[in-house]
Amino acid sequence: MRGKSAIVTGSTSGIGQGVAECLAAAGVNVMLNGFGEASDIEALRARLADHHGIQCRYSPADMSRPDEIRAMVHEAEDAFGAVDILVNNAGIQFVSPVQDFPDEKWDAVLAINLSAAFHAIKAAMPGMRSRHWGRIINIASAHGQVASANKAGYVAAKHGLIGLTKVVGLETAETSITCNAICPGWVLTPLVRQQIEVRAANEGKSFEQAATELLTEKQPSKQFVTPEQIGETALFLCSPGAEQITGTTLNVDGGWVAQ
């Protein structure tokens, strides 16, 4: 993997950071992307570059803006010489019954969780085809296969992302480009932590109680998936052993979807 180059969207925290860490440790140059404090992002970028001896850059591209997504891909190609690996991870959440779901929140969730992946794949695909190699990894969710109430935007977007994965996998099946989706269950990311905090506050429970109940409802293992485990799964999908895995999903969900 050393010398390959990747873009990982939404990689300044959570799952995306876990994926970026694993790729960097394998010698892959990484373009970080996401929001956060500038000093924290620079510290992460410098640490990955120095510790692993790779090139690491950062793009502040807004994943709701197709022009900025295209510019990020072109910037990575200029900086690294190629975008060999594209990990579409950026995502947002909003929880509400359908009748109360704000139109602007629906549009934002679909734009960042689904359309951003389309625009990034479209921009990166010509380079991958010209080099006859590429790995596209879409971070979907257990909610891309099953639903939960009050998450219309997120569930619709993640179902759509799995559909996009299948189409791109078919379109590239005769090439050395693969496209797959990883479907995590509950991962203790800032996004999930926020949901647990809201639940705890609404129900007058401790964070630990609310977290345990959340896991018990959905995830038979009763353990959170870690960002590092998602990163290792992504790394496997880039390996020779995964050359004939394409257009499919890998569940990393503690048994959630098996129920």
Give dist(CA 62, CA 10) in Å, integer: 10
Question: Annotated catalytic residue: which of 58, 80, 154, 186?
Answer: 154
Q: What does the CA dihedral 239, 80, 177, 174 come to, rounded to 10 degrees?
A: -130
Q: Which residues contact 231 (CB under 8 A, 6 or more apart)?
A: 18, 19, 20, 21, 22, 23
154 an active-site residue? yes
* Cα–Cα nearest to 191, from 145, 141, 232: 141
| Closest residue by Cα to residue 227 from 8, 16, 48 | 16
Closest to 161 measured CA to CA, from 188, 132, 135, 182: 182
Candidates 84, 68, 79; CA nearest to 33 is: 68
| Active site (catalytic) residues | 154
